[in-house]
Structure 1
Amino acid sequence: MSFEKPPVVIDNGSFSIKAGFACDNHPVSIFRTIVGRPNYLHGSYGKEYYDVYIGDDAAVRVEDLELSHPVVCGRIVHWDNMERIWHHIFYRELKAAPEDRAVILGCAPTTPMQEKIKCCEIFFEALNSPALCIQPQSVLSLYGSGFTNGICVDLGYDTTDIVPIFEGGLVNYAHIQTGLAGNQISDYIKQQLNDRNLGHVIKTVEDIERIKQDCLYVTECCAVTRKEYSKKYKLPSGEEIDISLEAFMAAELMFQPDLVKGYKTNYVPLHEAVVNSALKCDSELRTQLYDAIVPCGGLAMVPCITKRLADEIENMVGRPVTVLSSSEAYAISWLGGATFAGLPDANKMWVQKKQYEDYGPKIIRNKFL
C-alpha cells in the first residue's frame, strides 16, 4: 500500500514516547509519556479553565501538577490522556495533519485485542487517520536490527519482556517477563542513597534517570575492585558524590538479583530468562534465535550489557551466541517501524479507514490477531 506522504511512526512507551516520519532515520520527537494538570484542581476537571501540560513540559513543573501516566506496564490505562498525547504529537511535535498521514503504532507484546480496537477507534474517528497498522514493539525491534528471526530483550521502564520472534511473528507461548525493569532499578538506587543520607540528591524522576544514564555500567566480570570502577556524580550545586557502589550494584541486579538484594526475590536473572524463553521454542529454531538476540529500551544503553549478556548465555548453553549492540537501542523499536513501513509484504497489514467503517472491529481482529 503506497501513501502520498510518508507514514507517521509512533512507539508508545511507558516512560517515553517516540514519534517521527517513516522516511527519517531517527525519531523527530522523544518525550515523557505523562500528562499534567494543576494540582489545585484536586481532580475537579472541567469546572474552570486550566492549562494541560504534556511530556517534558509537565516533567519540569512536577511540583505544581497532578501527573497522569496513561501507559502502565505497556497497557493504556487512561484513554483521554493518551488521545491528548497523540493529538499533541501531530499538531505540536510533528506539525502534520493526522488526516493526511497513515500511522504505524508500536504496542506492547501483551496488548489485548480490545485495546487495539480502541486505538483504531481513536485514530479513525477522532484523528481521522487514513490508515493504521498496529505492531508489537518486539517485532519492530527485530526489523530495526535487520532480522525477522531472533529474541527481543526489551528492557523497559515498567517491564522487561523476553520474546522470541520467528518469521516476523511473536512466539507468544515463550514470552517471559523477568519482573525487574528500570523502575525497580530506580527504586534500588533511591533506597541506597537514602540509606547513606544522600536522599537530597533525588528531587525528581529526572535526577535518578540522569544518574542511570551517566553512571550505570555492567562489568564483564563482577570480580573488580572499586578503585577500577570509581563513579562520581556531580550535583547541580557543583558538589561531587561517590556513587560507585550504587552504579555497580544497580546494574548487577539484572543478572544477580538475589545476591544484590540479599534475599530471595521473584526476579528472573536476565540471561536465565533469555535461555528459558529459547528452550520453550522448538529445538530446530534455537540456532536462529541465538544468532540474533536484540536488546532494546533505555537499559540496553548501559555500557557493556551486551557483552555480559552474551557471556552469561554462552556459559549456560555451551555455544556461541550473538547479542547485537546498537548506539540507538532506546529507539530501535521506532526504527523498526520506519523499516516496516517500506516493506512490500507490509501492505496486507494496514487497516484503512474505509475498511474500518465497513467492517468495524472484525477487520481489526483479522489484521492484528
Structure 2
Amino acid sequence: MADGEDIQPLVCDNGTGMVKAGFAGDDAPRAVFPSIVGRPRHTGVMVGMGQKDAYVGDEAQSKRGILTLKYPIEHGIVSNWDDMEKIWHHTFYNELRVAPEEHPVLLTEAPLNPKANREKMTQIMFETFNAPAMYVAIQAVLSLYASGRTTGIVLDSAEREIVRDIKEKLAYVALDYEQELETAKSSSSVEKSYELPDGQVITIGAERFRCPEVLFQPSLIGMEAPGIHETTYNSIMKCDVDIRKDLYGNIVLSGGTTISKGEYDESGPSIVHRKCF
C-alpha cells in the first residue's frame, strides 16, 4: 500500500442516467458510462462469446439487442442494490482499475435519499469493498461547489439513455414557444431524422422544442404541477428574506436534462431569464 500522502480519494457520482467516477483533485472524471445493468434475455444466446451473467455500462449498451437493460437508480434513489453493487464493482475494478480497500471513497446521493439507503451504501462500501473511509455528499451541493459558489439554489434534472441521445442531438429550448409552434406547423424546417438502435429511422419535428418546454409548462402533458421556473421561485421564497438576493443571483442548473440547447448557449441567459422571471 502506498504512503498516505499518495492515496487519492475516489469520487463516484451515481446519476440516474450516467455514472461519473474519478479521483479527488482531478479536473474531470476518469470514467463516464451509463448507469445500466444488462442480462441476457435468453440463456445460451451468446454461446462461444464468453457469455456473462450481467453486463454493465457501455458493454451493456453495445449488446442491448440481446439483453434486458435495467436502471438500478430511479430518480436519484437506488432501487436495486444487487445491480448497484455490480456498477460499483465495475467502476472500481474495470474503469478506474484501483483497489477500493486502499482509497477513501466519496459517493453522491439525492437530496431526499432515505436514511436507510445511506446506511446501505455505507454497509456495502465497508463490508463488500472494504473501503478505509467513506463519505456521502448531496449531489446538488457538489454542483454548487463545482460552479464556484457556496450559496445558491440548484435545479437538478436527470436523464436516461435513448432519450438522452435524442435530446443532446436534436432538442432545444424555443426562444418564443408559440412562434416556434406556428413555424413547425407551416413548414418542415424544424424536422430532423434520428436512427434508433434497431435501425428504424424516425422523424422528429415540433417535439424537438415541445419536450423541453414541458419543463416550464407541465400542463402540456396533463400534469398539474408548477414548471421548473415556478418551483425555483417557490423554493427561494421559502428561504429567509436575508439570503433571497444571493439565491436569485446564484441559480445553478444541474443534471443531464438541463443541457438542452438554448439553456446554456449564447441565447441561454435571456431564455432562462424570460422563462423564470
Q: Give me the TM-score of the superposition, normalised by structure 1.
A: 0.64
Give the match for residue 166 of structure 2. 211
Q: Verify: 1:99 aligned to 2:101, yes or no.
A: yes
- Residue number among 273, 277, 283 corresponding to 2:241 in the alignment: 283
Matches within 5 A, 1:7-26: 7-26=9-28
Quick check: 1:14–1:74 contact (8 Å CA) kept in 2? yes
CA RMSD in angstroms, aligned pairs only? 2.5
Q: Verify: 1:220 aligned to 2:164, yes or no.
A: no
Give the match for residue 335 of structure 1. none
Quick check: 2:164–2:256 contact (8 Å CA) kept in 1? no
CA positional deviation for 1:52: 1.6
- Superposed CA deviations along residues 25-57 of structure 1, whole A, max 9, x for unmatched, are 11111111111222225xxxxxxx843201121
Q: Verify: 1:74 aligned to 2:32, yes or no.
A: no
Residues 267, 63 of structure 1: alpha-carbon distance in 2 compared, 3 angstrom cutoff: farther
- Residue number among 197, 203, 213 corresponding to 1:252 in the alignment: 213
Give the match for residue 128 of structure 1. 130
Give the match for residue 276 of structure 2. 313
Give the whole-Å Cα distance in 2 for the aligned partners of 1:304 and 1:98: 40
Aligned residues: 257
Q: Which has the higher contact order (CA 8 A, sep 6+)?
A: 1
Give the match for residue 294 of structure 1. 252
Residues 60, 147 of structure 1: alpha-carbon distance in 2 compared, 3 angstrom cutoff: same
**Gaps spanning 5+ residues in structure 1: where?**
42-48, 158-182, 184-204, 315-369
Give the whole-Å Cα distance in 2 for the aligned partners of 1:238 and 1:130: 47
Match of 2:245, as an amino acid? T
Give the match for residue 111 of structure 1. 113
Quick check: 2:111–2:139 contact (8 Å CA) kept in 1? yes
Give the whole-Å Cα distance in 1 for the aligned partners of 2:8 and 2:243: 35
**Gaps spanning 5+ residues in structure 2: where?**
44-50
Matches within 5 A, 1:52-67: 52-67=54-69
Give the whole-Å Cα distance in 2 for the aligned partners of 1:254 and 1:280: 21
Match of 1:244, as an amino acid? G
Residues 126, 241 of structure 1: alpha-carbon distance in 2 compared, 3 angstrom cutoff: closer
Give the whole-Å Cα distance in 2 for the aligned partners of 1:292 and 1:229: 36
- Superposed CA deviations along residues 66-124 of structure 1, whole A, max 9, x for unmatched, are 33321112211111211111111111000111111111111110112221111111111
Q: Give me the TM-score of the superposition, normalised by structure 2.
A: 0.84
Give the whole-Å Cα distance in 2 for the aligned partners of 1:16 and 1:239: 25
Give the whole-Å Cα distance in 2 for the aligned partners of 1:142 and 1:247: 29
Give the whole-Å Cα distance in 1 for the aligned partners of 2:64 and 2:202: 25
CA positional deviation for 1:19: 0.5
Match of 1:217, as an amino acid? Y
Give the match for residue 271 of structure 1. 229
Match of 2:15, as an amino acid? G
| SS at 1:27 equivalent | coil
